[in-house]
Amino acid sequence: MRKQGKQSWVYENPIYINATGTAVGPREAKGPLAGTFDKSFENLHCDEGNWELAERKLMETAVQSCIEKGDITKEQVDLFLAGDLLNQNVTSNYLARSLSIPFLCMFGACSTSMETLAVGSALVDGGFANHVVAAVSSHNATAERQFRYPTEYGGQKPKTATSTVTGAGAALISKKKSSIRVEAATIGKVMDYGAKDPFDMGSAMAPAAYDTIKTHLEDMGRLPSDYDLIATGDLSGVGSPIVKDMLKEDGYNVDQMHNDCGLMIYNSDQEVFAGGSGCACSAVVTYGHLIQALEKGKYQRILVVATGALMSPTMVQQKESIPTIAHGVVLMREEGQ
Amino acid sequence: MSKKFNQQQYNNTIKEYQPKPALLGNCLKAFLVGGLICTFGQVLTELYMNFMDMSEKEAGNYTVTTLILIASLLTGFGVYDKIGQFAGAGSAVPVTGFANSITSAALEHKSEGIVLGVATNMFKLAGSVIVFGVVAAYVVGIIRYVIKLIL
């Protein structure tokens, strides 16, 4: 039985993350997790001619690093699952053009990191692929242009705003045993509690994270205490307390084990408003810091719930509210590795 | 279903979780920075009038041009957006804010070429200012004309 409960998948075969790759921009490299990334670029342009190329370079670097660390060749990868935040997913599509690995493009806004990991693991579990690379990227400047204003525009942002993480993360998934096992996943429903403010995505996404965490615990018959960490993707300083209080109303207290990747990635004195966001936020924190903490034995089992605001500037201007989604993946430490 | 958090009440319930904007502080900052920009403009006008022998009207045009140049340069150097985050309307309302909106859009779309990138997108943000500026001037002009006819 791979399907468990309403929305959860438990992989029948042991599925592992053999290697991860991360690349970040200059601001992330000044944060508290600086030492956990494979590569950090000193300038936001990543030595490229424009922002879109910079983002592509980030994803390319992360994927390369992941494949190298996984000790396999590009030709051995059966499937590349990737997504980003830009229109037509240009970063992923254009990188896939040069990789020439069979490719499925995915979009779940900032939840794409766990979406690709969950689906990639399912495909390996089902025997449709032996090696899958799951990758995502986001870039502060491309996201500003896509969703907000030109990067140098002097508009004032409220404190509830988040700051898109510049970076990319990739994971190599296979059945080959390693120290990190992908145990289960919970696929989220699109939730919309009527929040309309694109400068407060933490509030908009909290119900999606709440629903996925709650459903996950019910489906798996588990309690929050079964996890050493429940990490949400990018709820920031605004959404994190909301999701904790929402879960409390259902009798789940996650105060002890909850943290948010958007709060982990930057120091409190970095000017990032309410915290970090973007596909890369959950990806670089999970594929860097969290995986390393699992390897070291600091954690035994964690739940990463990547949250995505499925926002479009056109829809926001047409006064529509912001639909959101969250996908959860359970990672656990495999002993004896 | 939970009581405090439900779909209908959500936007009200979460208000207590959202940090309040520092209204008074923001107003003060906007007043100070906006005032400083205007004072600087006045200094420029006086300089043009006294040292370059210009009439007040001529000096006004040169002042606006100088402010636009400075604001565009600051935008290019990546400083104006930081001033904007600090000052809010204080740096958005004066002509420097207008210059910033045009320069930032032009810079942003440079990678798409001169014609379809820079030229097409330059007025993406400033376009609405021009439209409403022209419409308002037209309406005020008509009112003035009508009053003049009556008197």
**What residues does each domain of chain A span?**
3-174, 180-333
Residues A205-219 pLDDT 10s: 999 999 999 999 999
Does this chain's domain A3-174 share its CATH topology with A180-333? yes
Q: What is the pLDDT of residue B21?
A: 85
Place of tokens 């201007």: A317
Q: What average pLDDT score do residues A224-235 get?
A: 96
Q: What average pLDDT score do residues B104-129 get?
A: 94
Instruction: Give yes or no for residue B5 having a pLDDT over 60.
Output: yes
The CA-based dihedral angle spanning residues B16, A311, B84, B131, taken in that order and rounded to the nearest 10 degrees = -120
Q: What is the pLDDT of residue A321?
A: 95
**What is the β-pairing status of strands A276-277 and A163-164?**
parallel
Q: What average pLDDT score do residues A120-139 get?
A: 97
Whole-Å CA distances, A89 to A210, A228, A268, A280: 27, 34, 31, 14
Q: What average pLDDT score do residues B56-67 get?
A: 95
The interface predicted TM-score of the complex, written ipTM, equals 0.87
pLDDT band at A268 (very low <50, low <70, confident <90, very high): confident
DSSP codes of every residue in B7-55 = TTTHHHHGGGGSPPP-HHHHHHHHHHHHHHHHHHHHHHHHHHHHHS---
Distance CA A203, CA A199 (A): 10
| Minimal Cβ distance to B107: which of A152, A159, A249 | A152
* Secondary-structure class of domain A180-333 per CATH: alpha beta
Instruction: Give yes or no for residue B1 having a pLDDT over 70.
Output: no
How far does B20 lie from chain A, in Å, by closest CA? 8
DSSP codes of every residue in B96-124 = HHHHHHHHHHHHHTGGG-IIIIIIHHTTT
- State the alpha helices, DSSP H only, in chain A: 26-29, 51-69, 90-99, 112-125, 140-147, 201-220, 236-249, 261-264, 279-284, 291-296, 313-317
Distance CA A183, CA B8 (A): 36
Q: What average pLDDT score do residues B133-151 get?
A: 95
* B7 touches A at CB < 8 Å: yes
b or e along A30-49 (b: 16 or more beta carbons within 10 Å of the residue's beta carbon)?
ebebeebbbbbbeebbbebe
Chain A residues with beta carbon closer than 8 angstroms to that of B117: none
**What is the β-pairing status of strands A3-4 and A163-164?**
unpaired
Instruction: Note the CATH number of domain A3-174.
Output: 3.40.47.40
How far does A202 lie from chain B, in Å, by closest CA? 10
Q: What average pLDDT score do residues B74-81 get?
A: 95
Written as one letter, the residue type at A263 is: L
Instruction: Give yes or no for residue A163 having a pLDDT over 60.
Output: yes
Token pair recorded at residue A66 = 């992941």
Token pair recorded at residue A106 = 């995915």
How far does B65 lie from chain A, in Å, by closest CA? 19
pLDDT band at A116 (very low <50, low <70, confident <90, very high): very high
* B94 touches A at CB < 8 Å: no
**What percentage of chain A has pLDDT greater than the value 70?**
99
Distance CA A153, CA A214 (A): 40
Judge: A153–B21 Cβ closer than 8 Å, yes or no.
no
Residues A270-321 pLDDT 10s: 988 999 999 999 999 999 999 999 999 999 999 999 999 999 999 999 999 9
- State the alpha helices, DSSP H only, in A176-312: 201-220, 236-249, 261-264, 279-284, 291-296
Chain A residues with beta carbon closer than 8 angstroms to that of B17: 203, 238, 241-242
Judge: A150–B125 Cβ closer than 8 Å, yes or no.
yes
Considering only CA atoms, which of B116, B130, B119, B122 is closest in space to residue B101? B122
How far does B55 lie from chain A, in Å, by closest CA? 33
Radius of gyration of chain A (CA): 18
Size of interface A-B (CB pairs under 8 A): 101
